[in-house]
Structure 1
Amino acid sequence: MKQEFKASINRALNDANLTGALGKFSEAYKVNRTKAYEGIDFEELRGRIAEAKSAAACHLDEVAETFRKNAEALGAKVFRTRDPEEVKQYILKVARENGVKNVVKSKSMATEEIHLNQALLKDGISVAETDLGEWIIQLAGQTPSHMVMPAIHMTKEEVADIFSKEVNERLDTDIPRLVKVARNELRPKFLEADMGISGGNIAVAETGSIVLVTNEGNARLVTTLPRIHVALIGVEKLVEKFETVVPILDALPRSATAQLLTSYVSIITGPTRNDDGSEKELHIILMDNQRTEMAKDPKFKQALQCIRCGSCLNVCPIFRLVGGHVFGKVYTGGIGTILTAWFDELKKSEEIQGLCIQCGNCTQVCPGKLDIPEMIMEIRRRLVLEKGQPLVQKAIFSVVNNRKLFHGMLRAASVAGKPFTSGKFIRHLPLFLSELTDGRSLPAIAEKPFRDLYAGIEQPKGKEKAVFYAGCLIDFAYPETGVALVKLLNKAGIEVIFPEEQTCCGAPALYSGAYEVAAQNAADNITALLEQDAQYVVSACPTCTVALAHDFAKTLEAVGRTEWLDKARQLAEKTVDLATLVKRLVDQGRLSFQEGADLGKITYHDSCHLKRTLKVSEQPRELLQQAGYQVEEMFECDMCCGMGGSYSMKLPEISAPILKRKLKNIKDTGAPLVAMDCPGCVLQISGGFDQDGAPVRVKHTAELLAERLKD
């Protein structure tokens, strides 16, 4: 990551106005969005949207041609092009032929994408943004930081300063007064304009209609007052049937700003009349700019299901810390990373893709059912294929892929780390490693890894067996979690088998785009785990569970190692996370906990992979309550703790404030104990509390449950 990009991250993190504005909005958004969707089956709604948008993306050419025919039959002029330069030339040609001197624009990300304003200004044409946020950005000489709320990163004080310079009058921060100033400044521009330029939220092939959704009414003025209206629309906005407008309108305002409906919904079907009775010129430009190619790519076709609501930005823990001017180019956040890689070029996404922590928050709220983290992983893979792995990363993964060498180095680290170890933690590291212990301590490598302890555990021999996949952290840092797992399953009469040949699950390599490395990890583990005749393969690490149950097959297929797919699927069918298995055993009456004890309050942190990919959240809570704890929910219980695997090492400056927020939310519950089901989260949160000094204990759920087993 280049130093200038690192510097931009640090500037954003140290901008209290930016982090304050984004943080407050993010907190309010989650509450308000929940209220906005009350009584609506969101999964059913987004299923309809995804299906309709996907159907259009499957045959964009035909849908675009149907739209053209129907819109032109109504009197519109439709121009379709793949080339952004041709878009600008077409608009300039229309402007020159009609003597256009003044243009007003309503909000349009498509015009931002092709830098239209600069082209018009260069040609001597005055351009005024009329959306309040866009006008603020234009006056400030900035670019939008959010697709829906372009000036969300700015405070009212900053806006007051900008407006004061524009009107040459010292204005205070009274918002109604600032809005009135904007209205007074913009109204003459509508009346003077020769051309209005808009975007379009939806384009309906069946009727040749374009649909505009706004809150300020400026789009209606832009599209009705000037004698020429130009609508620039990306072809991904096309839908086949008019009936599709309804679910999109149901979801768009609720997802974008947590409104039930925007103030203005305009449906334009053909040109209207000007005040003098002449027919308005309506030009509709369908812009491609790699969208057709994206539709043909099986990994990225789903991106065309995006309805540009920006909800993925609203829930992103990274976006709310650094904003869109760091996390994005023209389009921002996770979806912006994907669009940048396609609409601009792959290498332009190289730095911003690294900001995604893969927490999956965005997948839960996206009304188009986009899997943004999955597509960002594919971008990483293609960047590695194009440029190769960085030398340091390549060296690390070569060690990880050599199990004996890797495990030998971990054992050596147990001894080498002793000078820096106090209790169970490493609190300070020397020289260039010191950044790794800023804001959190690291766990000391255990003197005896789980694989050594396992040999001394006496187990019941039975027909029912479970293979335990420990993962690196439980094996070498938290062996006590592995011992607790064995105790739980043994109590239910299940013999636990631990194959020593198991190695890293490959997640670090996979999330870095090094699919070949991850595929070898997958093959090694499939061999080790399936050699055993067992009913289950169980893991107490959600990241590892996801690797075994979901990622192995996809990774092996991606690199062409299809001979492993059948075995990968066999492994996936056997794989289960510990919380799900223990809950099943309790419900079957095979496990029970001591009765009568009130162990007081406990709070629970949802690990990202466990809740979002494995869909497990209630089971651990129910088990903790059955064991005698009172579960007190924390604020943002399912927000990422900032660990993100190697993310906390690559970007500790972002990981640290995310962790700090998590620690505060835990402390605010008043619970002296916090439980979780991910050893990575245990590492992050326990290390944070070690440096914070708060008397809060951090435990893996497995350990707490094992302590409460009935004799």
Structure 2
Amino acid sequence: MKREFKESITRAVNNANLTGALGKFSEAYKVNRAKAYEGMDFEALRGTIADRKAYAASHLDEMAERFTANAEAAGAKVFRTSDPAAVKEYILKVARENGVKSVVKSKSMATEEIHLNAFLEANGIEVGETDLGEWIIQLAGQKPSHMVMPAIHMTKEEVAELFSKEVDERLSSDIPRLVEVARQELRSKFLKAEMGISGGNIAVADTGSIVLMTNEGNARLVTTLPKVHIALVGIEKFVEKFEDVVPVLTALPRSATAQLLTSYVSIITGPTENDDGSRKELHIILMDNRRSEMARDPKFKQALQCIRCGSCLNVCPIFRLVGGHVFGSVYTGGIGTILTAWFEELKKSDDIQGLCIQCGNCKEVCPGKLDIPEMIMEIRRRLVAEQGTSLAQKAIFGVVNNRKLFHGMLRAASIAGKAFTSGSFIRHLPLFLSDLTETRSLPAIAAEPFRDRFARIEQPKGCPEKAVFYAGCLIDFAYPEMGASLVKILNKAGIEVVFPQEQTCCGAPALYNGAWDVAAQNAADNIDALRADEATYVVSACPTCTVALNHEFGKTLETAGRTEWLEKAKVLAEKTVDFSTLVKRLVDAGRLTLKEGNELGKITYHDSCHLKRTLRVSEEPRELLQKAGYQVAEMFECDTCCGMGGSYSMKLPEISAPILQRKLHNIKETGAPLVAMDCPGCVLQIRGGFDREGSKVEVRHTAELLAEQVE
């Protein structure tokens, strides 16, 4: 990442006003959104939206032709173009033909996308934003930090300062007074403007209608008071039929601001009369700007299902810390990363794509069913394909792809690291490595890796079932006790455990850095080593590795052109199961018994991102721990990322550290002396964080706790 970009991150995370405002909103949003969707089938609703938006996106030319015919039949003038410059020239031409000197605008991200305000002002036309948030950032000389709430990053005190300068009066931060000032100032703009410019939340092909959703009523004034109205609409806003409007109207306010509905819904079909009896000019500009190209791309066509609610920003742990001015260009957050790569250019997303920690929160709440993390991964892949990898990454991946060399270096690190090891932790590292232990301790490399320890474990003979254990690097070389616990539990259920010595890195580090060829080789090596066709199960106690085995290997190999491995990858995926799911099945089937009557005290549980959001596992470990005798006390934001993100915590420690601190605080607030989790990466992050601050809270993998209670 560029130095200036890293500096902007540091400034953002140390801005107490910014992180405070975004933090309070995100906390309230999650609770209020849940209430807003109470009694509704969100999955069914977003399935409907995704289907209807996907249909429109795959028939863009047809939608545009039908919309144009119907809108023009109703009296509107429709202009369609792929060129943002042509959009601006068209608007300027209409303005000059009508003697326009003053324009009022309602909130429109499409106009932000083409930098319309600066263009009009450079041509002598006064532009007034009338959405309260947009007016605030216009006065501040900033760009929106959120698609729905453009001034969410600003405090009421900062707004009062801006308004005071605008009206030349010392104003307090009393919100009703500030709103009154805004109303007074904006009213004159509405009355003198000769042209109103709006966007459009929805464009209905069958009726030629534009649908606008607002909370302040300014859009109605923008579209009715001036004699000329121009609506700039991206062609991704199409739906086919009028009935398709209802699902979007239902989901957008609930997802955007956790409201049941917006204050105003305006449906514009053709021009209306002005006060003097003349007919208003209504111009509708259908802007492409690479949207048609996106619709033809199999990896990114789903992005056109976005309804611009901003819910992906509202739940993003990174956006909550850095805000939109760091995490985006015109469009911000995860979806902003994708739109920046398309509407501007791929290399413009180079820095911001690295902000995504791949926690999957956004995918879970998106009403358009966009897989934003997957698309960001594809951006990374294309950036690597276009720009190549750095020398440092090439060296690292070269080592990882050589199993013997990789494992040999880990063994050597166990010996070399003794000088920096205290107990089971590395608390200080020298020179340029010192940052790695600044906010958390690191686990010492085990003196004996699991692969060596496994050979001494006696297993039951003649078992009818065989489980291949995929340990992953952390369990193998840092936490062998977790692996031993898993073997003990499965043996108790009458399952023989096999540990192929040839298994190596699952490829996640390479994959998440865009190096798909490297990840594909890791996949092929592991498929060959694990021999899933000879096993009843392939089990892992690391969710990231489990996801790699049963979700990523096939896609990675196919993308890399290694199709000869696809059938074996499919067999491996079908056999792969995470630890807690398998143990829950065994307990339910009566094949595994946990000691009864135990009262082991209170614990809390942290959900790892991959386990809950990709593997859809959250209740199983809790039920197992309760059966074992633990009282599970739920922590606040139990399923929010701990900030580990694999190599993310090393690349962006300034973001990882405050996320970790929030997680540690939430754990301690439960009063539980012990926190359980199913991910060794989360154990590394959270255990290291507690050790660094000297806390006595114990951090354990679920497998370790259950192994102590099996009969």
Range of TM-score over shorter length: over 0.9
C-alpha displacement of 1:521? 0.1
In structure 2, what is the Cα distance between the partners aligned to 1:404 and 1:485?
25
Tell me, yes or no, if structure 1 residue 666 matches structure 2 residue 667: yes
Contact 2:532 2:571 in 1 (8 A): no
Determine the structure 1 residue equivalent to 2:647: 646
CA shift at 1:597, angstroms?
A: 1.3
Q: Does residue 556 in structure 1 map to residue 557 in structure 2?
A: yes
The match for 2:501 is 500
Aligned equivalents of 1:662, 1:158: Cα separation in 2: 30
Deviation at 1:530, TM superposition (A): 1.1
State the Cα RMSD in Å.
Answer: 0.5
Which residue of structure 2 aligns with residue 208 of structure 1?
Answer: 208
TM-fit CA distance, 1:431: 1.0
Partner of 2:632: 631
Task: State the 1:531 CA deviation.
Answer: 6.4
In structure 2, distance between residues paired with 1:217 and 1:614: 44
For each residue in 1:17-50, what CA deviation from the matched residue of structure 2 results, as whole angstroms up to 9, or x when unmatched? 0000000000000000000000010000000000
Residue in 2 aligned with 1:702?
Answer: 703
Alignment of 1:245-644 (within 5 A): 245-461=245-461, 462-530=463-531, 533-644=534-645
Aligned to 1:184: 184
CA offset digits 1:496-532 (Å, max 9, x no partner): 0000000000000000000000000000000000167
Deviations 1:391-427 (A, max 9, x none): 1011000000000000000000001111111111001
What secondary structure sits across from 2:598 in the alignment? coil
C-alpha contact (below 8 Å) 1:213/1:262 kept by paired residues: yes
SS in 2 for 1:458: coil
Q: Could you say which residue in structure 2 is the equivalent of 1:92?
A: 92
C-alpha distance in 2 between matches for 1:197 and 1:65: 23
Distance 2:437 2:213 in 1: 48
Alpha-carbon separation, structure 2, partners of 1:223 and 1:48: 30
Quote the Cα distance in structure 1 between the aligned partners of 2:498 and 2:684. Answer: 25
Q: Which runs of 5+ in 1 are unaligned?
A: none
1:141 paired residue number: 141
Distance 2:17 2:434 in 1: 29
Q: Provide the rounded CA distance (Å) in 1 between the counterparts of 2:73 and 2:687.
A: 67
Q: Distance in 1 between matches of 2:22 and 2:573?
A: 40
1:455 partner SS: helix
Instruction: Provide the identity percentage.
Output: 81
Q: Counterpart of 1:211 in 2: which secondary structure?
A: strand
8 A Cα contact 1:37 1:254, kept in partner: yes
* Letter matched to residue 553 of structure 2: F
- 1:240 is aligned to 240
Letter in 2 for 1:637: C
Question: Offset at 1:432?
Answer: 1.0
Q: In 2, distance between residues paired with 1:132 and 1:457?
A: 68
Gaps of 5+ in 2: none
1:693 positional shift: 1.6
Measured in 2, the distance between the counterparts of 1:155 and 1:479 equals 49
Output one character per residue of 1:306-339: Cα deviation in whole Å (capped at 9) or x when no partner: 0000000000000000000000000000000000
Distance (whole Å) between structure 2 residues aligned to residue 193 and residue 318 of structure 1: 40
What is the 5 A alignment of 1:100-249?
Answer: 100-249=100-249
Q: Distance in 2 between matches of 1:450 and 1:188?
A: 74
Find the residue that maps to 2:534 and give its secondary structure.
coil
Which residue of the partner structure matches residue 692 of structure 1?
A: 693
Structure 2: distance between partners of 1:210 and 1:628: 59
Write the distance in 1 (CA, Å) between the matches of 2:534 and 2:20: 55
Stretch of structure 1 that moved more, 432-441 or 535-544:
432-441
Distance 2:295 2:279 in 1: 36
1:463 Cα deviation after fit: 2.1
The code of the aligned residue for 2:162 comes to I
Query: Could you tell me which amino acid in structure 2 is paired with residue 220 of structure 1?
Result: R
Counterpart Cα distance in 1 of 2:421 and 2:144 = 47
Query: 8 Å contact 1:438–1:656 — kept in the other structure?
Result: no
3-state secondary structure, aligned to 1:537 = strand
Cα deviation code 1:420-445 (max 9, x no counterpart) = 11111001111111111121100000
In 2, are the aligned partners of 1:76 and 1:283 still within 8 Å (CA)?
yes
C-alpha separation between the residues in 1 aligned to 2:317 and 2:699?
22
Query: Are the aligned partners of 2:603 and 2:632 in contact in 1 as well (CA < 8 Å)?
Result: yes
> Residues of 2 paired with 1:136 and 1:24: CA distance?
20
Q: Which amino acid is the alignment partner of residue 156 of structure 1?
A: K
What is the letter of the counterpart of residue 555 of structure 2? K
Q: How many residues align?
A: 710
Measure how far apart 1:596 and its partner are.
Answer: 1.0
Instruction: Confirm or deny: 8 A CA contact 1:627 1:708 kept in the other structure.
Output: yes
Q: Contact 2:313/2:319 (CA < 8 Å) preserved in 1?
A: yes
CA displacement, residues 564-593 of structure 1 (integer Å, 9 cap, x when unaligned) = 100000000000000000000000001111
* Contact 1:467–1:532 (CA under 8 A) maintained in structure 2: no
1:46-65 matched pairs, under 5 angstroms:
46-65=46-65
* Matches of 1:278 and 1:428, distance apart in 2: 77
Q: TM-score, normalised by structure 2?
A: 1.00
CA distance in structure 2 between the aligned counterparts of 1:450 and 1:178, rounded to whole angstroms = 64
For the residue of structure 1 that corresponds to 2:121, the secondary structure is helix
Q: Secondary structure at the match of 2:705?
A: helix
Secondary structure of 1:658's aligned partner: helix
Residue 533 of structure 1, CA deviation: 1.7
- State the alpha-carbon separation in 2 of the partners of residues 255 and 431 from structure 1: 47
| 1:276 CA drift (Å) | 0.3
What secondary structure does 2:412 align onto? helix
| Aligned mates of 1:452, 1:15 — CA distance in 2 | 49
Q: Contact (CA 8 Å) 2:532, 2:575: kept in 1 or not?
A: no
Divergent runs of 4+, >4 A: none
Alpha-carbon separation, structure 2, partners of 1:469 and 1:153: 45
* Distance in 2 separating the partners of 1:532 and 1:116: 60
> Does the 8 Å CA contact 1:608/1:638 hold for their aligned counterparts?
yes
Letter of the aligned partner of 2:73 in structure 1? A
Once residues 430 and 15 of structure 1 are traced to their aligned partners in structure 2, the CA distance between those partners, rounded to angstroms, is 30
